């Protein structure tokens, strides 16, 4: 029988470690996914994951069900991401010096086989450019764009996660969209 | 005409964030306005171009690593509250204060602190010179590894700067394998050591302690490793060693977790064999286990495990009748 979040939290608050583990396992893939997309570095993403769930562990006893557990968790996740400072170990962002060749873009639309070597190369080029574009955004713009575009959250959900109004989230989203579009203009013109 | 509003609505429309009424209003506007209509096409192409990018996804390996490292950190967090409360070392600040301290650094230091504690307890031996106090430059020598430099004050205008570093110094330890202090270090190694070969050796060394393994810390560490270690050999040895501990509900839950989640069939076989052993010694399988078998029977790929699950379910059915 699957226990609800509330039941698991109640158990975890009373010291049931397996309930806490189950709660973590229920959401940790999403947390890791957001972190990984945000920092684009596997080690840094693990650091964020760890900090998020340590904060959950420390704060769970005081959790009073004033919001959904998932809302609280994602709020912690976005906060940790936004305040994250790279450990300095490494930065896996690939630096591409050459500008995108417009031929590549033309070819991209015409290639059918998504897994062909050519298309995989193109995809990797596009990804590198998108990553470079994302790095130009402010932390909040980047987080909101990732949550909206790559993770598919609704604006209402993001506003709860980031404790901001929907209007503010839209403003950041429009700004991020504008900056990214300028950076990636060769991709769609 | 408010083109700005419609240009923003175009983005929202493509993210399915407009109400029906707003979408209709936008549609009417696009039919009349060439500028916004062109903008709509541009935004569509932009979104479509983004679809050709693939930001990294959290794969199973990364998730397993994250879980394993988190469990190790959690154990430190818990032991921090219960075990370590020495006035000389402020571990609360030392381990987890700034997020930017990578856990790996802290984990190595944790081992250092434990070693320091063990040695300190022997009264007449060395204490690890961990650099956490102010003005500890004198304690550094050429064997000390410096990492994770963190500035507190990097303004040189007053002639001084201030920072902390993690300083790791090699320590030579020799002692009896069944010494609780040695066992404690080995336990930490199986959780924190990066090299799976070392983790494996540490488990084997704990094993040489034979039937004396009653330590709660070791048992909990083995459960964590058996469930989450990324290396199959390490997981398997941890699971085997776990069998030398009394089977309680936590071990039982761990076995069920391994049976349902481990990708390796040898691990699942080991888990179900142990679970059967426990059930034969005790009161049979509990309801959670039966439900889990029922839910996972069809998904199970290994014939032996499948057969064992089926046997358990059939026996349970007979008992119910």
Which 61-120 residues of chain A touch chain B by CB within 8 A?
A: 80, 83-87, 89, 105, 108
- Examine the pLDDT at A188 and tell me if it is beyond 70: no
DSSP label at residue A162: T
State residue B1's pLDDT score.
Answer: 65
Mutation choice for B interface testing from A60, A111, A177 by most B CBs within 10 A: A177
Q: Is B17 on the interface with A (CB under 8 A)?
A: yes
Q: What is the mean pLDDT of residues A147-154?
A: 91
Higher pLDDT, B151 or A14: A14
State residue B210's pLDDT score.
Answer: 58
CB contact under 8 A, B56 and A173: no
State residue A84's pLDDT score.
Answer: 82
Q: How high does pLDDT run on average in chain A?
A: 79
CA distances to A7, A38, A85, B170, B182 from B109, rounded to whole Å, are: 37, 28, 21, 11, 16
Residue of A nearest to B50 (CA): A130
| Cβ neighbourhood burial of B136 (10 Å; 0-12, 13-18, 19+) | middle
CB contact under 8 A, A188 and B49: yes
State residue B238's pLDDT score.
Answer: 92
DSSP letter string, A80-138 = HHHT----SS---PPP--SPPPHHHHHHHHH---TTSHHHHHHHHHHHHHHHHHHHTS-
Distance CA B211, CA B129 (A): 36
Residue of B nearest to A130 (CA): B53
Determine the distance from the C-alpha atom of residue B307 to the mean position of all C-alpha atoms in its chain, rounded to a whole number.
32
State residue B274's pLDDT score.
Answer: 87
State residue A96's pLDDT score.
Answer: 26
State residue B214's pLDDT score.
Answer: 60
Residue of A nearest to B66 (CA): A46
CB B163 within 8 A of CB B169: no
Higher pLDDT, A117 or A76: A76
Give A119's contacts (C-beta < 8 A, 6+ positions apart): A108, A111, A113
State residue B306's pLDDT score.
Answer: 86
State residue B9's pLDDT score.
Answer: 93
Q: What is the mean pLDDT of residues A149-154?
A: 90
State residue B280's pLDDT score.
Answer: 80
Determine what percent of chain A is predicted with pLDDT higher than 90: 47
Structure tokens at A98: 């050459």
Q: What is the mean pLDDT of each run of 10 residues along chain B (321 residues)?
A: 86 92 92 91 87 81 87 77 40 41 51 53 33 54 75 79 78 84 86 84 82 72 88 89 83 88 88 85 80 83 86 81 70
CB contact under 8 A, A29 and B74: no
Which span out of A84-98, A141-155, B155-169 was modeled with the highest average pLDDT?
Answer: A141-155
State residue B76's pLDDT score.
Answer: 77
State residue A34's pLDDT score.
Answer: 93
State residue B128's pLDDT score.
Answer: 28
CB B95 within 8 A of CB B103: no
Write down the ipTM of this complex.
Answer: 0.77
Q: Is B250 on the interface with A (CB under 8 A)?
A: yes
Q: What is the mean pLDDT of residues A88-94?
A: 36
Work out whether the CA dihedral A135, A140, A143, A144 comes out positive or negative.
negative
Number of H helices, E strands in chain A: 10, 0
- Select from A18, A150, A177 the Cβ nearest to the Cβ of B55: A150
Determine what percent of chain A is predicted with pLDDT higher than 70: 77
CB B221 within 8 A of CB B75: yes
| Cβ neighbourhood burial of B282 (10 Å; 0-12, 13-18, 19+) | exposed
Which 134-153 residues of chain B touch chain A by CB within 8 A?
A: 148
* A-chain residues near B59 (CB < 8 A): none
Over the stretch A36-60, which tens digit does the pLDDT of each residue have?
Answer: 999 988 999 999 999 999 999 999 9
State residue A27's pLDDT score.
Answer: 92
Would you say how long chain A is, in residues? 189
| Cβ neighbourhood burial of B24 (10 Å; 0-12, 13-18, 19+) | exposed
CB B34 within 8 A of CB B198: no
Mutation choice for B interface testing from A40, A45, A46 by most B CBs within 10 A: A46
Distance CA B152, CA B26 (A): 53
pTM value?
A: 0.49
Distance CA A154, CA B188 (A): 43
Distance CA A132, CA A126 (A): 10
- Examine the pLDDT at A153 and tell me if it is beyond 80: yes
CB contact under 8 A, A80 and B102: no
State residue A121's pLDDT score.
Answer: 62
CB contact under 8 A, B45 and A188: yes
Q: Is A3 on the interface with B (CB under 8 A)?
A: no
CA distances to A172, B138, B162 from B133, rounded to whole Å, are: 43, 11, 12
């Amino acid at each position: 029988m699957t226990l609800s979040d509330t039941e698991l939290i109640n158990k975890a608050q009373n010291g049931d470690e397996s309930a806490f583990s189950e709660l973590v396992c229920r959401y940790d893939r999403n947390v890791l996914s957001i972190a990984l997309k945000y920092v684009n570095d596997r080690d840094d993403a693990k650091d964020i994951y760890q900090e998020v769930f340590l904060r959950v562990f420390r704060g769970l006893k005081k959790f009073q069900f004033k919001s959904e557990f998932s809302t609280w968790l994602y709020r912690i996740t976005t906060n940790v991401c936004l305040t994250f400072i790279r450990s300095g170990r490494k930065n896996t962002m690939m630096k591409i010096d050459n500008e995108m060749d417009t031929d590549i873009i033309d070819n991209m639309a015409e290639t059918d086989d998504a897994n062909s070597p050519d298309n995989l190369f193109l995809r990797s080029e596009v990804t590198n450019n998108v990553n470079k574009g994302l790095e130009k955004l402010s932390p909040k713009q980047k987080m909101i764009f990732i949550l909206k575009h790559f993770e598919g959250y609704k604006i209402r959900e993001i506003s709860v996660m980031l404790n901001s109004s929907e209007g503010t989230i839209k403003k950041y989203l429009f700004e991020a969209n504008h900056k990214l579009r300028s950076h990636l203009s060769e991709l769609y013109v | 005409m408010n083109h700005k509003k419609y240009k923003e609505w175009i983005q929202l429309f493509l993210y399915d964030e407009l109400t029906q009424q707003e979408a209709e209003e936008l549609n009417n506007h696009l039919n009349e306005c060439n500028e916004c209509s062109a903008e709509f096409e541009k935004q569509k192409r932009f979104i479509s171009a983004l679809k050709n990018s693939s930001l990294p996804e959290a794969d199973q390996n990364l998730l397993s690593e994250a879980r394993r490292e988190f469990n190790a950190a959690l154990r430190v967090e818990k032991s921090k509250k219960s075990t370590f409360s020495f006035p000389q070392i402020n571990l609360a600040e030392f381990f987890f204060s700034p997020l930017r301290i990578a856990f790996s650094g802290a984990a190595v230091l944790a081992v250092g602190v434990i070693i320091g504690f063990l040695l300190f307890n022997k009264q007449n031996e060395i204490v690890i010179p961990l650099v956490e106090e102010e003005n500890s430059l004198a304690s550094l020598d050429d064997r000390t590894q410096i990492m994770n430099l963190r500035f507190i004050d990097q303004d040189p205008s007053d002639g001084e700067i201030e920072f902390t570093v993690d300083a790791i110094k090699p320590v030579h330890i020799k002692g009896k394998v069944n010494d609780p202090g040695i066992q404690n270090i080995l336990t930490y190694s199986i959780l924190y050591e990066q090299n799976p070969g070392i983790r494996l050796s540490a488990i084997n060394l704990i094993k040489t302690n034979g039937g004396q393994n009653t330590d709660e810390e070791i048992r909990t560490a083995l459960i964590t490793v058996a469930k989450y270690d990324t290396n199959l050999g390490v997981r398997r040895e941890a699971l085997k060693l776990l069998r030398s501990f009394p089977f309680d509900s936590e071990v039982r839950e761990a076995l069920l977790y391994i049976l349902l989640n481990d990708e390796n069939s040898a691990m699942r076989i080991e888990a179900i064999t142990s679970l059967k052993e426990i059930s034969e010694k005790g009161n049979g399988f509990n309801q959670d286990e039966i439900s889990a078998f029922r839910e996972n029977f069809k998904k199970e790929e290994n014939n032996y495990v499948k057969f064992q699950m089926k046997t358990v379910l059939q026996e349970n059915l007979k008992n119910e009748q």
